[in-house]
Amino acid sequence: MIKYTIRRFITMLFTLFIIATATFFLLAAVPGDALSARAERLPENIKENLYKKYGLDKPTMERYVITMKSMLHGDFGESITYEGQTVSSIIRDKGPVSARLGLQQMLLGVSVGLLLGVLAAIKKGTWIDYLVVTLAIVFISVPNLVFGLLLQKVFGGTLSWFPVIGWPQGDELWFGGWKYTVLPTLTGCFVYIATYARLLKTSMLDVINQDYVLTAESKGLTRGQVIRRHVIRNSFIPVMTQLPMSVAMCITGSFFVENIFSIPGLGLYYVNAVSGRDTSIVLGNTVIIAALYIIVIFITDILYTLVDPRIRIRGGKK
């Protein structure tokens, strides 16, 4: 187990290195930089100084070495477009906002999705099944910005139950200001509902046709007992592969939802940074998000062993 963790950690560092390198050169290959828009109207000598200040006057390879070196020391650099902000300060400020939104969306979406999935599988071939499948198709094919605008119109506008935009700040950052979070959470949770309902339904139907379900029935268990004890756990295995991706996704934020509801989250900022060619911010964010994904995947691999005893992590003592 320890050996396994160490091995995973080394692979993780290697993966991060490749991601950082690829991102760096991709950004370098894109025409224009963070200063080109600003520098256009400036006199030549000020322009030069400005470029020098951010180190953008040096050749690409040299900049690469400098960037990687400072990244090794945990310094991801300063934002060029937003004076005085660093990658860490941005993640500290914007991260929690996106994380709360994402987690709320995910918790609601995954639980409703799983519930619908179970229902559709048990009531296969009835109207409930068809309703769930139809809903799933609608939820997955209609972009969430459409839902966002609709919800704003109906619940924010016509009925005036919830505010149209805004997000709790300060003391209420994590708990509180719920009324602001209702519409964005709903908007974002549809994708989760669709994904998980379909996933669980398919895998449950697969498990229901297994021989061990027949064995369970032949013991005289009721249908409910068979589903609870034998079907659910085994059909959760594919769900477990999907879950880490969702967790990572919910932390990195969702650009559309944050945009529609003017939520000062990471997603919105990230996209702005890309279009503004804010190299250090994009690079830093990418590496940190990649690290997050890798850690979450590692945690899932360990969770697997809890759900499915057939998977045991090798490399340890046993």
Partner 1 sequence: MSKLLEVKDLRVSYHTYAGEVQSVRGVSFDLEEGEAIAIVGESGCGKSVTAKTIMGLIKEPGKIKEGSEIIYRGQDILKLSKKEMGQYRGKEAAIIFQDALAALNPTMRVGKQIMENILQHNKSMSKSEAFEEAVKMLEMVGIPDARQRAKQYPHEFSGGMRQRAMIAIAFACQPKLLIADEPTTALDVTIQAQIMRLIKDLQKKLNTSVILITHDLGVVANVAKRIVVMYSGKIVESGNSEDIFYHPKHPYTCALLNAVPRLDLENKQVLASIEGTPPDLLDPPKGCPFCTRCRYCMKICCEELPEMTQFGDGHQAACWLHHPMAADCERPKEMEVSK
Which residues in this chain contact partner 1 in the complex, by CB under 8 A? 210-212, 214-222, 225, 229-230, 233-234, 307-310
Q: Is residue 275 packed enough to be buried (19+ CB in 10 Å), middle (13-18) or exposed (0-12)?
A: exposed
CB of 205 vs partner 1, minimal distance in Å: 12
d(CA 117, CA 104): 20
Q: Whose Cβ is closer to partner 1: residue 191's or residue 243's?
A: 243
Q: Whose Cβ is closer to partner 1: residue 38's or residue 223's?
A: 223
Q: Whose Cβ is closer to partner 1: residue 121's or residue 257's?
A: 121
Q: What is the DSSP letter of 222?
A: -
Q: Whose Cβ is closer to partner 1: residue 52's or residue 233's?
A: 233
3-state helix, strand, coil in the chain (%, to 5): 75, 0, 25
Amino acid at 264: P
d(CA 55, CA 72): 18
CB of 294 vs partner 1, minimal distance in Å: 27
Count CB atoms within 10 A of the CB of residue 240: 15
| In contact, 307 and 242? CB cutoff 8 Å | no
Q: Whose Cβ is closer to partner 1: residue 115's or residue 221's?
A: 221
CB of 252 vs partner 1, minimal distance in Å: 32
CB of 224 vs partner 1, minimal distance in Å: 11
CB of 174 vs partner 1, minimal distance in Å: 36
Three-state DSSP class for 235?
helix
CB of 206 vs partner 1, minimal distance in Å: 13
User: What are the b/e assignments for 209-231, b being 16+ CB within 10 Å?
Assistant: eeeebeebeeeebeeeebbeebb
Amino acid at 208: I
Amino acid at 237: I
Six token digits for residue 25: 């050169």
Q: Whose Cβ is closer to partner 1: residue 31's or residue 309's?
A: 309
